[in-house]
């Protein structure tokens, strides 16, 4: 891994190196561009492809879904639905999936907010009603790996929130993914993927119902499709490649640090693995460990590409500087491999999830601990939150004034309405006062 010294190259250069490309700045590889040109007849950008697919699905419904699935995935579809009742969940993984599901369910149950009412004046009241969304769509990618853990993380919080119907779209009917979906409580499953699946859930087709919100990760085409349909329905976030940033002092175990860096690198050639440490010695040892451990990974080609492209070790002057760099980066996963991690916790401002200490590695959060692993990426932890129960809830204000309480504030309302030139607003109050 590349090692740089913050003192030698300067803070601005470190921050430049820590700045990630936005999800929509990712360039398509020549191989992907060539394949797309063959499909679409011209060299289109990712967003141009997505807009064409979304527009066609919106206008043509199932026909467009079928056509694009055949062109892009080489799969001929007729009936999209998977019969949930026929899914066999008797697998060797079932016991572990049940443990994970229970932990996820218990954690998210603690997040449930409550509706409330407060009284004003004699018998007037104000309040807030917390209402679950009616129908939510969950996208589960296919690709080079199956992710039953993501199925649990997306469906269970929705069910805890009280969502009436959860539908799932996935291009591959992977048995473990289907088992996780049934265990989590999915209502309907459709075997389609890509931008056409996102468009179908956003606008509905003959077979796929319209949803209020779409959640779940995907590739650049899925992410751009979610951006394109936002406003017609809600979305969770615009996620990019996976990331880990480790802040470590001289007490950190280099073997652990290297293993954790590689745990994210194996996801995707665009994944980002960064170590910021106060120890040059640790930096050298971690770099050597990454090389050693990399050679034994089944997905070593993917991990090696990620390390080559987005792997970085920064030697900081002290832990305060290390935390400053971490906050600037705003990573998806932040590990604190330091002697006193809880002392640093109040200084962390931007991170999707924080893992404290040597025995709280990132995979613990990915699979079993309970907190959600659907996290903001690409620096968006500066303003996005982790997926949670409130992702699937909306709030409605409640207002009920008595006659006397309304009269008591009538003059103020009339003055404010007139100041804005909205005389009909003022009249709606004045007429009530006149009739009384």
**Active-site residue identified among 266, 332, 335, 362:** 332
Report the length, in residues, of the chain. 436
Write the CA distances from 236 to 57, 70, 215, 221, 282, integer angstroms.
21, 28, 5, 16, 38
Reduced to 3 states (helix: H, G, I; strand: E, B; else coil), residue 291 is helix
3-state SS of the chain: helix, strand, coil percent to 5?
Answer: 50, 15, 35
**Active-site residue identified among 108, 333, 335, 362:** 333
Using CA atoms, how far apart are residues 428 and 193, in angstroms rounded to an integer?
Answer: 51
Sorted by sequence, the CB contacts under 8 Å of residue 185 that are 6+ apart come out as 155, 156, 159, 166
Using CA atoms, how far apart are residues 347 and 4, in angstroms rounded to an integer?
Answer: 24
* Whether 333 is catalytic: yes
Reduced to 3 states (helix: H, G, I; strand: E, B; else coil), residue 315 is strand
Using CA atoms, how far apart are residues 277 and 252, in angstroms rounded to an integer?
Answer: 9
- Report the DSSP beta bridge partners of residue 125: 119, 400
What sign has the CA pseudo-torsion 257, 261, 264, 266?
negative
- Integer-rounded Cα Rg, in Å, for the chain is 25
Using CA atoms, how far apart are residues 267 and 286, in angstroms rounded to an integer?
Answer: 20
Cβ neighbours around 283 below 10 Å, total = 23
Residues belonging to the active site: 332-333
């Amino acid at each position: 891994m590349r090692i740089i010294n913050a003192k030698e190259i300067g803070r601005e250069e470190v921050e430049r190196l820590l700045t990630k490309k936005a999800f929509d700045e990712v360039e398509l590889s020549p191989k992907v561009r060539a394949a797309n040109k063959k499909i679409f007849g011209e060299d289109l950008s990712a967003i141009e492809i997505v807009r064409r697919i979304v527009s066609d699905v919106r206008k043509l419904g199932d026909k467009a879904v079928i056509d694009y699935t055949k062109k892009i995935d080489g799969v001929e579809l007729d009936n999209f639905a998977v019969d949930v009742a026929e899914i066999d969940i008797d697998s060797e993984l079932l016991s572990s999936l049940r443990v994970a599901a229970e932990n996820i369910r218990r954690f998210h149950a603690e997040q449930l907010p409550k509706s409330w009412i407060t009284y004003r004046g004699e018998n007037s009241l104000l309040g807030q009603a917390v209402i679950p969304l009616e129908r939510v769509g969950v996208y589960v990618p296919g690709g080079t790996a199956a992710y039953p853990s993501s199925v649990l993380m997306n469906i269970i919080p929705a069910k805890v929130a009280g969502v009436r119907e959860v539908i799932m779209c996935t291009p591959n009917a992977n048995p473990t993914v289907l088992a996780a979906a049934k265990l989590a409580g999915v209502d309907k499953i459709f075997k389609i993927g890509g931008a056409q699946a996102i468009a179908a859930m956003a606008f509905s087709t003959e077979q796929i119902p319209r949803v209020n919100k779409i959640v779940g990760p995907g590739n650049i085409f899925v992410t751009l499709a979610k951006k394109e349909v936002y406003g017609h329905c809600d979305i969770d976030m615009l996620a990019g490649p996976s990331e880990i940033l480790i802040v470590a002092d001289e007490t950190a175990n280099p073997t652990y640090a290297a293993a954790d860096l590689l745990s994210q690198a194996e996801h995707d050639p665009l994944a980002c693995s960064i170590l910021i440490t106060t120890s040059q010695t640790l930096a050298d040892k971690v770099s050597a460990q990454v090389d050693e451990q990399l050679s034994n990974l089944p997905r070593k080609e993917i991990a090696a590409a990620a390390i080559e492209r987005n792997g970085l070790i920064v030697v900081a002057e002290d832990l305060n500087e290390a935390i400053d760099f971490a906050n600037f980066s705003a990573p998806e996963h932040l590990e604190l491999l330091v002697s006193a991690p809880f002392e640093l916790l109040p200084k962390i401002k931007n991170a999707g999830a924080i893992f404290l200490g040597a025995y709280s590695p990132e995979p613990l959060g990915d699979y079993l601990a309970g907190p959600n692993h659907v996290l903001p990426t690409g620096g968006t932890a500066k303003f996005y939150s982790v997926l949670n129960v409130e992702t699937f809830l909306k709030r409605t204000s409640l207002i009920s004034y008595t006659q006397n309480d309304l009269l008591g504030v009538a003059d103020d309302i009339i003055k404010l309405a007139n100041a804005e030139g909205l005389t009909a607003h003022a009249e709606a109050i004045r007429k009530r006062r006149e009739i009384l």
